[in-house]
Structures are given as structure tokens and as C-alpha cells.
Amino acid sequence: MTLPQRTVQPRPDSGAFDAAACETFLVHEARLLDEGRFDEWLSLFTADAWYWVPSEPNQASPRDTISLIYDDRRLLETRVRRLASPRIYSQEPRSRTSRMIGNVTIEEAAADACTVRSKFQLLEYRRESQHIFGGTSLHRLVRGDGGIQIVWKRVDLVNCDAPHEGLVVPF
């Protein structure tokens, strides 16, 4: 059986984001976190970026109620400095993590920016204890001089309203 030939018309490079490029970026971000390369992870964020983990399902704003994490760029830098410190008690011994990213979709796109939704699972192992986190991430991505950068990141944990021990490792 011979399949019919398809001709693919090359499309002009509009600079728009595509799902494959966004997925590659998110997998790269996950790898940096799994490998403990937190300075490189921080460099993915713009100077005015924020990172938010709501404490309630469908939480509309980080200002309406307390959040599990709500960091602007300055607090992200502080978080990374703490993670890099050899004296961070909450990470003695260091967590070993494994992240899986999937179901990546572009929710909204413009020529120079897009909002990407993805599903994730994070396995964290430390002190003979294993924790599994899962949920949905939303990233606002832009093209910068050095490539794609994160303007903001929202992480909606499936169990966001459950009791959690100290959340130290970024999602």
C-alpha cells in the first residue's frame, strides 16, 4: 500500500511560539531543577518575574489569601541563594528529585509571548522519605536576548490545600 504524498508548504518564520519549542523549554527547566542548577534556573526568569504556588484550588489572586509560595524576582534570588548554601538545614541531606512534564499546550500566543499550560509530576526523595507532587503549571514566556524567558510561573498543586511540610525545592 502506498501512502499519498503530502506536500508541506514552508511557512515564514513569524517568530511565534510553537508547542514543541515550549515543551523543550519546560523540559530544560525541569532538568535544571533536578540537577540542582538553581542559578541557571533563576537566569530563565525575567528581571520582573514572579513565581506563585496558590494554597487554594482556583485561587484568583495571591493577594486575596495566603499562598504556599509567592516570590517576586528578589525573593526568587533569595530562595536560590538559600538552596545554594551548604548550611541549609532543611536540605541536609539534599533532596533528590525527578520531574516529568507533559500535556503541554499553548493557551494564548502573540508574536513575542505566550502562555503555556502543562501537567507535571515531581518525585522528591530525602531522609528515607518520598513525596509526590502533581498538578498544572502555567508559564508566561517571552523571547529575550538569550532565548526564551519566564515572565511568570503559576503552579497549581492537586493537593494545594492539604497540610505540607516545608516546601523547599521549587516545582
CATH code assigned at 106: 3.10.450.50
- DSSP assignment, residue 112? S
What is the Cα 76 distance to its own chain's centre?
13
β-bridge partners, 115: 108, 140
What is the value of pTM for the model shown? 0.85
Predicted local distance difference test score (pLDDT) of residue 61 = 95
Would you say residue 3 lies in a domain? no
In-domain check, residue 165: no
Q: What residues make up the domain containing 53?
A: 19-85+94-157
Number of domains in the chain: 1
What does the pLDDT look like over 74-132, one tens digit per residue? Answer: 999 999 998 887 777 666 677 899 999 999 999 999 888 999 999 999 999 988 889 99
Sequence letter at residue 134: G
Distance, CA of 86 to CA of 113 (rounded, Å) = 37
Which tens digits make up the pLDDT trace of 11-48?
A: 333 456 899 999 999 999 999 999 999 999 999 999 99
In a domain, 120, yes or no: yes
| Residue 115, domain member (yes or no) | yes
Q: Which amino acid is at 23?
A: E
